[in-house]
Amino acid sequence: MDILVVGSVAFDSIETPFGKGDDVLGGSATYFSTSASFFTGVQLVAVVGDDFPDEPRQFLTSRGVDLAGLQTRPGETFRWNGRYGYDLNEAHTLETHLNVFETFHPQLPEPYRKAEYVFLANIDPELQLEVLRQVERPKLIACDTMNFWIEGKRQELIKTLARVDILVINEGEVRQLADEPNLVKAAEIIRGFGPKTLVVKRGEYGVLMFSEGSIFAAPAYPLEEVFDPTGAGDTFAGGFAGYLAATRNLEERNLRKAIVFGTVMASFTVEKFSLDRLKEIDFKDIETRYKRIKLLTDFADLD
Amino acid sequence: MDILVVGSVAFDSIETPFGKGDDVLGGSATYFSTSASFFTGVQLVAVVGDDFPDEPRQFLTSRGVDLAGLQTRPGETFRWNGRYGYDLNEAHTLETHLNVFETFHPQLPEPYRKAEYVFLANIDPELQLEVLRQVERPKLIACDTMNFWIEGKRQELIKTLARVDILVINEGEVRQLADEPNLVKAAEIIRGFGPKTLVVKRGEYGVLMFSEGSIFAAPAYPLEEVFDPTGAGDTFAGGFAGYLAATRNLEERNLRKAIVFGTVMASFTVEKFSLDRLKEIDFKDIETRYKRIKLLTDFADLD
C-alpha cells in the first residue's frame, strides 16, 4: 500500500563542523519520501517554486514517488539556512524563506483521496487538518510537529491530534506539548489528546515509543562519522511509516520493527549531506544495519 | 567472590524540585556497596570523621559490607551540598567540604590485599593507584573518574587507566578525556589508554558499553517519578561490578547482563532520597525490573 505524505520540499544551505552545502535538496517531504520509497510507493503533496529544476523531480520519480500532488507556483522554492556545532543534536536556524510555501494549501489529486496510510510532516496544523478533510477513510494517520506550532497554534494542533493515530516528535517537544518534565507522564498526557501511540525522537539517544500498556526503547545506531543531521527525523519517519504501509500491520510487534527500520534509515542519512547517502544504499544495506541493531541491543534473559 | 571498593562515604544535603534532604547518607562507596551487596559481599575502603554515627555502620554491616577498611579520623565526615533543577541529568554543586577526606590515604587491611574484584570509585587517581599497589593480583579492576581529575590530574589518571580493565564514566567525560566529540571514536581512543571495556553512563538515556569488536546499548528504565538522581552512577556501578564479582565471568554475554543489573539498581535509587529505596527492595524486585527491561528493548529479528 502506498503512503501519502504532505510536507515541505526545500533547498537547504547547511554548515556543519565537517563541511558546507549550498542549496542542496531538502525538506521534510523529500527526506520522508526518499526513505519510505525503500519500502513502498509514495504519494507526495507539497509545493515548489518555478525555480525548481527537473533533476530532483526525476530522482524522486525514479524512486517510485508520485509527484501528481507536487504543485508548482510562481516564485521561489522554500529555502532553509542552518548551522550545527559539534553538538549535532541541535540545529541553529540562520534564515528561513518560506517563499511559495507561505501561501501553500495542499490539494490532493483524486486518486490520493483514497490513501489508507497518511503522514502529515511538520507543517502548520491547519494545513494538516486540510489534508485530513480530503482523505476518505485512512487506516493510519501519523504526524509530526514542532515547538513553533506548539507555541503559536496550540489549539489548532490539539484539534489535529484528536484525529491522529501516531504522533512522532522530538523529546523536548513532548515535554513542551504536555507541559510536564517527566517523559513517561508527558507521554500519557499526549496520548490523552488522541494519538494511541507516541514516538519520541531523541537524536543520538534513539527513540522511545509509548503505546497502550507498552514502552519500547531503541538506541540510535552508533556512527563514527555523523556528517550532517539535517533530515534525520523525517528520514526516520519515512522508514517507520513506509514499513507500516508496506506491511499493513499495526500490531505492537510490527510497530517495533518499523521503529528499527526508521532508525536504520536515519543512520544512513546523517552520513552525508542531503540525500546523498540514501542515493548510494540498497535494501541489503538496510537489512545489514537492522541486524547490527539487533546485536547492539541483545542481552540474555534471566536464567 | 567479594568486591573491594574504595571511594567516599559522605553526608549529602540535596534539593530537588520534589523535596529536600539534609545530611543524608551518601558518598560513592556507600551507594556502590549497598547496590553491590544485593549480589555479593563487599569490602569497603574509605574514611569518615569522628562525627560518623553508629546507625549507618550497622546498616552497611547488615547488608554484608565489611567495614574493616573504613578509617575513622578526628574531624568531620565529607559533606556535599547540591541542587537539581527539572533537568535531573545535571547536579549543581553548592558546597563541598572534603574534611577528613582531604588527607585520606587508603589502607587495605591484610585480607583485602587478596581481592580479585576491585572497584575504584571516583577519587583522586593518585589514591586509586595507591590502592592498586596494595592489591596482589586482581582479576578485574574497574574504575570511575570525573571532569575534575581529567582537567587537574590528567597524567596521573592516564597512569591509573593503564592498569584498569573497565572504565565506567559519564558521556561528557568520555568526550573530554579523549578530546574527541564523536563518542564512537572517543571510546576507541580511551580503550587505547588501557581499559579493554568502556562503560558510558548517559543518565536518563541509559548506557553504552564498548568492548573489543562490540557495542552494547541499554536504555535507562523509564520512571514516572525520578525523585533524586544522586548516587545513580555509583549504584549502577555497584550492580554492574557486584554482579560480575558474584558470577566470576567476564565474557561479553555476562558483561551485558551486568549492565542491565546496574541499570535496574540505579532505577531504584533515584526513586527516593539517599539509600531509602534500596532499603525497601529485595532480589525479586530486581528480577522483575530486569525482565521489564528485556520487554522494553525486545524486537523481532528480520524474517
Q: What pLDDT digit, counting tens, does each position of A185-218 carry?
A: 999 999 999 999 999 999 999 999 999 999 999 9
Question: Looking up cell 528485556, which residue turns up?
Answer: B294
3-state SS, residue B104: coil
The predicted pLDDT at position B30 comes to 98
pLDDT tens per residue across span A75-89: 999 999 999 988 777
Which of A215, A291, A300 lies at the smallest CB-CB distance from B257?
A300
- pLDDT bracket for residue B281 (50, 70, 90): very high
Interchain CB distance below 8 Å, B298 and A256: yes
Interchain CB distance below 8 Å, B181 and A302: no
The predicted pLDDT at position A230 comes to 94
Q: Give chain A's contact residues with B (Cβ, < 8 Å).
A: 17, 86-87, 181-185, 202, 204-206, 208, 214-219, 222-226, 253, 256-257, 259-260, 287, 290-291, 294-302
pLDDT tens per residue across span B136-149: 999 999 999 999 99
Instruction: Give the whole-angstrom CA distance, residue A96 versus residue A92.
Output: 11
Pairing between β-strand A117-120 and β-strand A91-97 as defined by DSSP bridges: unpaired
Interchain CB distance below 8 Å, A208 and B216: no
pLDDT tens per residue across span A281-294: 999 999 999 999 99
Instruction: Give the whole-angstrom CA distance, residue A200 versus residue A4.
Output: 22
On average, the pLDDT of chain B sits at 96
DSSP code at position B110 = G
Which of B294, B296, B300 lies at the smallest CB-CB distance from A215?
B296
Q: For A223-227, B208-212, B290-294, which range has the lowest pLDDT when averaged over its residues?
A: A223-227
Which of A181, A287, A297 lies at the smallest CB-CB distance from B217?
A297
Catalytic residue among A165, A234, A285, A298: A234
Q: Give chain B's contact residues with A (Cβ, < 8 Å).
A: 17, 86-87, 181-185, 202, 204-206, 208, 214-219, 222-226, 253, 256-257, 259-260, 287, 290-291, 294-302
Q: Beta-carbon neighbour count of residue A263 at 10 Å?
A: 24
- Interface test with chain A among B88, B188, B205, by most A beta carbons within 10 Å: B205
The predicted pLDDT at position B37 comes to 98
pLDDT tens per residue across span A89-134: 778 999 999 999 999 999 999 999 999 999 999 999 999 999 999 9
Q: Which helix (H) or strand (E) holds B4?
A: strand B3-6
Instruction: Give the whole-angstrom CA distance, residue A197 versus residue A189.
Output: 12
Annotate A35-68 with b (16+ C-beta within 10 A) or e (fewer). Answer: bbbbbbbbbbbbbbbeebeeebbeebeebebbbe
Interface ipTM = 0.94
Instruction: Give the whole-angstrom CA distance, residue A110 versus residue A135.
Output: 10
- Interface test with chain A among B299, B301, B303, by most A beta carbons within 10 Å: B299
Does the pLDDT value for residue A51 go beyond 90? Answer: yes
Alpha-helix runs per DSSP H in B135-231: 147-152, 154-161, 171-178, 183-193
Could you give the C-alpha distances from B121 to A205, B131, B145, B168, in angstroms and in order?
A: 26, 11, 7, 9
Q: Please, is A119 exposed, middle or buried when counting C-beta atoms within 10 Å of its C-beta (0-12, 13-18, 19+)?
A: buried
Question: For the range B133-142, what are the long-range contacts, defined as Cβ-Cβ under 8 Å and sequence gap of 24 or more?
Answer: B134/B106, B134/B107, B134/B108, B135/B4, B135/B108, B139/B248, B139/B250, B140/B116, B140/B165, B140/B166, B140/B241, B140/B244, B140/B245, B140/B250, B141/B165, B141/B166, B142/B118, B142/B166, B142/B167, B142/B168, B142/B237, B142/B240, B142/B241
Average pLDDT for B16-21: 89
The predicted pLDDT at position A300 comes to 97
The predicted pLDDT at position B302 comes to 92
pLDDT tens per residue across span A236-268: 999 999 999 999 999 999 999 999 999 999 999
Question: Looking up cell 585520606, which residue turns up?
Answer: B104
A301: chain B residues, CB-CB within 8 Å: 291, 294
Annotate B246-265 with b (16+ C-beta within 10 A) or e (fewer). Answer: bbeebeeebbbbbbbbbbbb
Does the pLDDT value for residue B217 go beyond 90? Answer: yes
A172: chain B residues, CB-CB within 8 Å: none
Question: Looking up cell 553491590, which residue turns up?
Answer: B36
Q: Strand order in B197-201's β-sheet? A: B65-73, B42-49, B3-6, B117-120, B140-143, B166-170, B197-201, B207-211, B214-218
Does the pLDDT value for residue A303 go beyond 80? Answer: no
Could you give the C-alpha distances from B58 to A134, A243, B68, B242, in angstroms and in order?
A: 71, 58, 13, 20
The predicted pLDDT at position A241 comes to 98
Closest-CA residue to B144 (of B176, B168, B119, B173): B168
Please check whether residue A4 is in contact with residue A117, taking contact to mean a CB–CB distance below 8 angstroms: yes
